[in-house]
């Protein structure tokens, strides 16, 4: 079946906007307030999708709910079991559930038009999922804009063996955005005027302020450059607090969702960004957070004051409050304005001071790849082709630095067999090879863990360089689909992002993410697939390589091959890119300890590379997780066969 725009928007016209009831949501065995999402455990689940009315803002509006709640119930699975989820559709339109970040057979992935037909009105579909991983994930509809109007929920998978993360209490913290405006109207407004929701445009007053700080000549030159590009440096987000309010577990700030603790306890907070268009900056003033997991995979713990979480990403943090006082869990959108807020407290009903909003970020010419070498600060990164890195010395044939070269003499050889020439025995090699040759529904490469072994190629293949492939070999031309191409791009993995740098707080970056366990597939990629993230902000057109889904052929991967994806962002927006069905191993200089992720934020003028093992056959969605960017064309199909 072909995924068409008609299928994509199917169902939006028949439904209104989602909201959530007030109340606290507590997963640690304390009091559960009515209207909070329930917690369902076991290996069989019944979910019912139906329309409801809710009231968030004093206005009664329509919503979609799962089992009567928004967000839907938190599902708790266990690694090693097979779960079944029966989803019944009581809507007048098609619906679906996609298990975000979950390794499933393609037919269970939940994308209508790609892997299955969708769930028709009045019909029931049973998902059957072998659970081969653990960690924090989420689920959402992949039909139209139904996730914007309520079809979202948290998913927590307990490890088969002892959890490597020690904690006393455990809470899911699901963040989302909400508007009383229908998704169709929001999209229509953006198509008619892309900055419809941007109320931070520069004025005569900001012109005078810039002259005082930067001088007349510099200010005029900057204004002229932005004018020639027909762009606005305050276009941080397409949909902002001008229409959105922000929810924590379905609760607006005034509802004061509360997580309880006893002083000295280790509290695990599983942050999930289930919003449609909002990147959040999260902190708990006065309480450091130790990040222990990213996108469901354990990392070597790193303590921070704040982290940025893109749409569809998850981060697990450990906090350990020792005082009998309340703390505010504060999540401000990247575009500032309103915020989501909850409380961490020893007793229900307590509150803490809500911090002041940070200043509104502003893009610079450097953000657009026009600032000289301003962004060339992470150039030693793994996986960067040497001919794409001017002036960089000491690079090896495959683009890795000596410091991160897995075949170098300083590599940790523990667990290696056969005299250290490979990290896996012949018997294990056969098991991996057999797994790659199994039909649909096969068991993929295992998630890295304490008992997994790293597959390595023969030494003669470790220095081979993959072929470079500009996907489709279509040159980029300035036009309706491509408004500009960044002059200079580079990794920005040490960059916290616009609005976070220099704020006086320790902020998590992608460079901080070092996997707790070695990756399973140590093979060298055989080819590179280079894709440009392109767009025309004024016309609100988005795509890969200047093409929308309807204009592009699928990206074909051979079953069992190892490839490197290189994403180059030629736009002025961050794009959280999600590849269904397969892990994305971010190349951030940590070699065999590269973090496994399912969603990656690509900043303006940034070049990001990651490795993918095509270990599960099927048709997989590959898209920007900004809801309206996906609808406007930033969507491709990856076929593994």
Q: State pLDDT tens for residues 37-56.
A: 999 999 999 999 999 988 88
Show the tokens assigned to 447. 């998630």
What's the pLDDT score for residue 387?
37
What's the pLDDT score for residue 588?
97
d(CA 15, CA 481): 31
- Tell me, rounded to whole angstroms, the distance of Cα 56 from its chain centroid: 26
DSSP conformation class of 251: B
Classify 548 in phi/psi space as left (phi over 0), alpha (psi -120 to 50) or beta.
beta
Q: State pLDDT tens for residues 46-94.
A: 999 999 988 888 888 889 999 999 999 999 999 999 999 999 999 999 9
Show the tokens assigned to 223. 């204004």
Q: Find the helix or strand (DSSP H, E) in which 270 lies.
A: strand 267-273
- Buried residues in 553-582 as b, exposed as e (16+ CB within 10 A): eebebebbbbbbbbbbbbbbbbbbbbbbbb
Residue range 104-108: average pLDDT? Answer: 96
What's the pLDDT score for residue 409?
31
As a whole number of Å, the end-to-end CA separation of the chain is: 16
> Are residues 494 and 552 in contact, defined by beta-carbon separation less than 8 angstroms?
no
Q: Find the helix or strand (DSSP H, E) in which 171 lies.
A: strand 169-178
Q: State pLDDT tens for residues 412-458.
A: 333 333 333 233 333 334 444 444 444 433 457 999 999 998 988 76
């Amino acid at each position: 079946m072909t995924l068409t725009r008609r299928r994509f928007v199917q169902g939006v016209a028949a439904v209104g906007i989602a909201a959530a009831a007030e109340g606290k949501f507590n997963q640690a065995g304390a009091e559960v307030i009515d209207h909070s999402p329930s917690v369902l455990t076991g290996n069989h689940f019944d979910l019912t999708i139906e329309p409801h009315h809710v009231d968030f803002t004093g206005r009664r509006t329509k919503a979609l709910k799962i089992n009567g709640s928004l967000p839907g119930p938190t599902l708790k699975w266990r690694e090693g079991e097979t779960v079944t989820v029966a989803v019944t559709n009581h809507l007048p339109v098609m619906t679906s559930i996609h298990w975000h970040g979950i390794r499933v057979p393609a037919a269970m992935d939940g994308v209508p038009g790609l892997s299955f037909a969708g769930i028709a009105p009045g019909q029931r579909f049973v998902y059957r999922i072998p659970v081969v991983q653990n960690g924090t994930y989420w689920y959402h509809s992949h039909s139209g804009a139904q996730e914007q109007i309520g079809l979202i929920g948290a998913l927590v998978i307990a490890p088969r063996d002892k959890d490597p993360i020690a904690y006393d209490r455990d809470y899911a913290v699901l963040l989302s955005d909400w508007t009383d405006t229908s998704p169709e109207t929001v999209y229509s407004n953006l198509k008619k005027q892309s900055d419809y929701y941007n109320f931070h445009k520069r004025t005569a007053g900001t012109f005078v302020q810039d002259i005082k700080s930067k001088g007349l000549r510099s200010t005029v030159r900057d204004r002229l450059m932005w004018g020639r590009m027909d762009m606005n440096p305050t276009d941080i987000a397409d949909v902002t607090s001008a229409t959105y309010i922000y929810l924590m577990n379905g609760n607006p700030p005034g509802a004061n969702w509360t997580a309880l603790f006893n002083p000295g306890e280790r509290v695990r907070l599983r942050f999930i960004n289930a919003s449609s268009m909002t990147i959040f900056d999260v902190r708990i003033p006065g309480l450091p957070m130790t990040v222990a997991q990213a996108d469901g995979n354990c990392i070597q713990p790193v303590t921070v004051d704040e982290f940025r979480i893109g749409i569809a990403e998850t981060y697990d943090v450990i906090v350990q409050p020792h005082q009998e006082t309340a703390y505010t869990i504060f999540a401000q959108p990247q575009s500032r304005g309103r915020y989501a807020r909850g409380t961490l407290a020893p007793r229900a009903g307590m509150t803490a001071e809500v911090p002041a909003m940070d200043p509104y970020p502003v893009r610079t010419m450097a953000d657009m790849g026009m600032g000289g070498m301003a962004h060339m600060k992470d150039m030693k990164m793994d996986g960067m082709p040497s001919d794409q890195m001017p002036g960089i010395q000491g690079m090896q044939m495959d683009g890795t630095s000596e410091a991160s070269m897995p075949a170098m003499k300083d590599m940790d050889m523990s667990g290696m067999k056969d005299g250290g020439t490979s990290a896996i025995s012949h018997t294990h090699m056969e098991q991996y090879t057999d797994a790659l040759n199994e039909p649909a529904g096969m068991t993929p490469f295992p998630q890295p863990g304490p008992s997994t072994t790293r597959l390595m190629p023969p030494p003669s293949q470790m220095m081979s360089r993959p072929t470079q492939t500009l996907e489709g070999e279509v040159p980029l031309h300035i036009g309706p689909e491509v408004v500009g191409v960044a002059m200079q791009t580079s990794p920005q993995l040490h960059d916290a992002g616009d609005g976070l740098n220099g704020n006086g707080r320790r902020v998590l970056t992608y460079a901080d993410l070092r996997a707790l366990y070695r990756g399973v597939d140590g093979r060298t990629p055989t080819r590179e697939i280079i894709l440009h993230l392109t767009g025309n902000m004024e016309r609100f057109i988005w795509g890969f390589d200047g093409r929308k889904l309807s204009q592009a052929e699928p990206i074909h991967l051979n079953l069992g091959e190892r490839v490197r994806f290189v994403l180059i962002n030629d736009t002025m927006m961050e794009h959280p890119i999600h590849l269904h069905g397969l892990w994305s191993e971010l190349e951030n200089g940590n070699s065999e300890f590269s973090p496994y992720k399912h969603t990656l934020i690509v900043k303006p003028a940034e070049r990001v590379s990651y490795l993918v093992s095509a270990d599960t056959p099927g048709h997989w969605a590959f898209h920007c997780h900004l809801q309206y960017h996906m609808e406007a064309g930033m969507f491709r199909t990856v076929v593994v066969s």
